[in-house]
Amino acid sequence: MATAASSGGVSDHQYVSVKLESPRLAALDLAPHLFGSHPAAGSWDPTKALPMERAAAAIWELSCVLPSRHETLDFKLLLKPKADSSECIVEEGPNRPLGCGSNQVEMTDAVFKLTEKDSLECKVWVETEMLSPFDLAASWKAHQENLQPSRVRGTYDVVMNTETEARDENDFASGLELDLEKYVVPTTPNMGSGVVYAANLTENPRSLLDTGISPNNLIKGDAPLNHYANTKKDVDGRHTPSQEEQKAVFVDRGVGSPRFARPTNETVSTSNIKQDSEAKLGMPAAEGAVAAAAVADQMYGPKEDRKLVIVLVGLPARGKTFTAAKLTRYLRWLGHETKHFNVGKYRRLKHGTNQTADFFRGDNKEGVEARNEVAALAMEDMLSWMEEGGQVGICDATNSTRSRRNMLMKMAEGKCKIIFVETICNDQDVLERNIRLKVQQSPDYAEQTDFEAGVRDFKERLAYYEKVYEPVDEGSYIKMIDMVSGNGGQLQINNISGYLPGRIVFFLVNCHLTPRPILLTRHGESLDNVRGRIGGDSSLRSLISLSYSLVV
Ligand SMILES: Nc1ncnc2c1ncn2[C@@H]1O[C@H](COP(=O)(O)OP(=O)(O)OP(=O)(O)O)[C@@H](O)[C@H]1O
Ligand SMILES: O=P(O)(O)OC[C@H]1O[C@](O)(CO)[C@@H](O)[C@@H]1O
């Protein structure tokens, strides 16, 4: 007999797992066994064959650990009638050799002749893996500690079936549906009146505060949301969640591959891009991988990826601040130093909160200059912060004309890369709702006691913006078109490449406006869990329980 060399260290051991799958076998009253050349496997004596353990309704398994330099072990599978084990059915074909020293998984068929005319075909997986003494020790410890099915603390265990381990699949699925049907999704937490207007949570205008201008205006702006809460019903008489309420239940979704990038001009439907990116590139296995990628990006990424300005573009009430706030949170979570500069906050501090629509007229020279001035101040603050080590700055304003965007591009020249993110929304119902929300919440209307007059003024402001609005057609950009409704939206991208821009595209395409529960399911205790092994694709230890947690 040949002796194979170990690929691992001298004292490595070999873990062997043999799995057999056959839905028909369960009904046959036959028990699968393994026997082979080694004395531990019965030395080809069927009466000493090793029984396989039932791991699931149609799966049987047997695993063991062999010493590192064992002789090649030949084995075969056989079926023994449960009642009378003297009559065995040995699988057809040659012996199965089990070499030593490699990590591999092999899938083959096993054929058992039940009668002259009836054969039973089973699938057989043989998995071998070299284990270090540490693996073995950990595995043994876990085995000792976890002989009883473990319970996940702090989450709800849903008991599927307490009496038996063998169930058929349909039974299992119907049990799960029932439990989920009964599950009550928690309601959105009531944020109360202490919630702050999203734009006010952005960076404080340090260039203005340093000049001695009192920040009192800001404090005024930090008034609780919904100035009309006592006098007005919510839009359409329904409760419309505020941005902050929505944020409370948003969970950032996972992130995509660092390689995701579309360098050319493209238009993609949201459904396509989701499928494309998820199917081809997959999701990272763990948060740790994301963090590592972010660190690597900061250390080794190309220069333009390290300093990035995202310039929001869009008519008023198109979700720019909303998008900027979410992006900020996401990029920070990835590990990138990110700050959100809202030009409205600068404008309110410099020019007060009571500007009427007139101030925003495209032909109001002073108004345009005043707005350009505060936009430049915000940009300067952002660039200074970047020189101090900041990585991603978000410039949140309408930036609705080409000349404004040119000004910003000139300021950033040679210092950082600029990407425009334009939010476009043509859905009149959404716009009407957004406008009313803005009037309810914006510090611009905090002193306006007549809600409808506030709405009229904001609509007038919007009309002025529409007259001069020039959609982005220059530089690197991402256009989010009607993404708010959740279906049929489009994401257009132009000249976007690199790790971080790729992440941003991926995030924006997966952004959602409506709060939704996210159900995380946890599999029941697997055989690998019991052995203390991470990863793998082993069978469940039993189908007794399944735990799931709700994350909001
Ligand atoms: N992509 C989107 N399209 C349309 N509406 C959106 C989008 N994203 C968020 N919204 C909604 O738009 C509303 C207004 O958002 P936000 O204050 O961010 O607008 P804005 O464009 O920054 O407005 P302004 O320029 O007047 O400050 C939010 O309540 C949010 O629900
Ligand atoms: O100066 P821009 O580009 O119009 O953008 C800033 C303005 O956008 C707005 O958000 C439009 O409503 C104002 O709050 C702010 O003053």
Containing 392, the helix (H) or strand (E) segment is strand 392-396
Examine the pLDDT at 88 and tell me if it is beyond 50: yes
Query: Which residue's CA is the nearest one to ligand 1's atom 30?
Result: 319
Q: Which residues does 169 contact at the CB level (< 8 Å), separation at least 6?
A: 57
144-153 per-position pLDDT tens digit: 555 444 343 3
512-531 per-position pLDDT tens digit: 776 667 788 878 888 888 88
Give the DSSP letter string of 75-126. Answer: EEEEEEESS-TTS-EEPSSSPEEE-SS--EEEEEEEEEESSSS-EEEEEEEE
Distance 338 CA to ligand 2 centre (A): 21
Distance 294 CA to ligand 1 centre (A): 29
402-438 per-position pLDDT tens digit: 999 999 999 999 999 999 999 999 999 999 999 999 9
> What percentage of residues in the chain have a pLDDT greater than 90?
38
Distance 305 CA to ligand 1 centre (A): 27
Query: Of all atoms in ligand 1, which is nearest to the CA of residue 483?
Result: 1
Examine the pLDDT at 212 and tell me if it is beyond 80: no
Strands 392-396 and 338-342: parallel
Asked if residue 430 has its Cβ within 6 Å of ligand 1, the reply is: yes
C-alpha dist (Å) from residue 169 to 21, 25, 60, 176? 14, 15, 16, 11
Taking the CA of 197 as reference, the closest ligand is 1
Asked if residue 397 has its Cβ within 6 Å of ligand 2, the reply is: yes
Taking the CA of 317 as reference, the closest ligand is 1
Q: Which residues does 440 contact at the CB level (< 8 Å), separation at least 6?
A: 225, 226, 227, 228, 229, 232, 234, 235, 451
- Complex ipTM: 0.94
Residue 536 pLDDT level (bands cut at 50, 70, 90): confident
470, 488 contact by CB (below 8 A): no
Handedness of CA 168, 170, 172, 178 (dihedral sign): negative
Examine the pLDDT at 155 and tell me if it is beyond 50: no
Distance 210 CA to ligand 1 centre (A): 30
201, 247 contact by CB (below 8 A): no
Residue 225 pLDDT level (bands cut at 50, 70, 90): low
Q: Mean per-residue pLDDT for 166-191? A: 40
95, 51 contact by CB (below 8 A): no
Distance 397 CA to ligand 2 centre (A): 5
359-391 per-position pLDDT tens digit: 999 999 999 999 999 999 999 999 999 999 899
550, 519 contact by CB (below 8 A): yes
Strongest mean pLDDT among 7-21, 244-258, 393-407, 444-458: 393-407
Alpha carbon distance 438, 436 (integer Å): 5
Query: Mean pLDDT lowest for which of 5-9, 20-24, 212-216, 533-537?
Result: 5-9
Strongest mean pLDDT among 311-315, 345-349, 494-498, 512-516: 311-315
Distance 390 CA to ligand 2 centre (A): 24
Residue 535 pLDDT level (bands cut at 50, 70, 90): confident
Closest-CA residue to 31 (of 22, 39, 18): 22
Residue 63 pLDDT level (bands cut at 50, 70, 90): confident
pTM attached to this predicted model: 0.55
pLDDT of residue 70: 65
Give the DSSP letter string of 49-84. Answer: PEEPEEEETTEEEEEEEE-TTPBPEEEEEEEEESS-
Asked if residue 13 has its Cβ within 6 Å of ligand 2, the reply is: no
Strongest mean pLDDT among 21-25, 126-130, 406-410: 406-410
Examine the pLDDT at 273 and tell me if it is beyond 50: no
67, 20 contact by CB (below 8 A): no
Contacts 24+ apart (CB under 8 A), 334-337: 334/255, 334/290, 334/291, 334/294, 334/503, 335/290, 335/291, 335/294, 335/295, 335/298, 336/294, 336/297, 336/298, 336/391, 336/392, 336/500, 337/389, 337/390, 337/391, 337/392
Query: Which residue's CA is the nearest one to ligand 2's atom 6?
Result: 397
Distance 287 CA to ligand 1 centre (A): 29
Asked if residue 434 has its Cβ within 6 Å of ligand 1, the reply is: yes
Give the DSSP letter string of 461-501. Answer: HHHHHHHH-----SSEEEEEES-TTSSS-EEEEES--SHHH
Residue 492 pLDDT level (bands cut at 50, 70, 90): very high
Containing 35, the helix (H) or strand (E) segment is strand 30-36
Taking the CA of 351 as reference, the closest ligand is 2
Query: Of all atoms in ligand 2, which is nearest to the CA of residue 399?
Result: 3
DSSP 539: P
Asked if residue 489 has its Cβ within 6 Å of ligand 2, the reply is: no
Which token pair is 66? 């062999």
Asked if residue 319 has its Cβ within 6 Å of ligand 1, the reply is: yes
Asked if residue 235 has its Cβ within 6 Å of ligand 1, the reply is: no
Residue 280 pLDDT level (bands cut at 50, 70, 90): very low
pLDDT of residue 548: 37
Distance 465 CA to ligand 2 centre (A): 10
Distance 344 CA to ligand 2 centre (A): 5
Q: Mean per-residue pLDDT for 212-240? A: 46
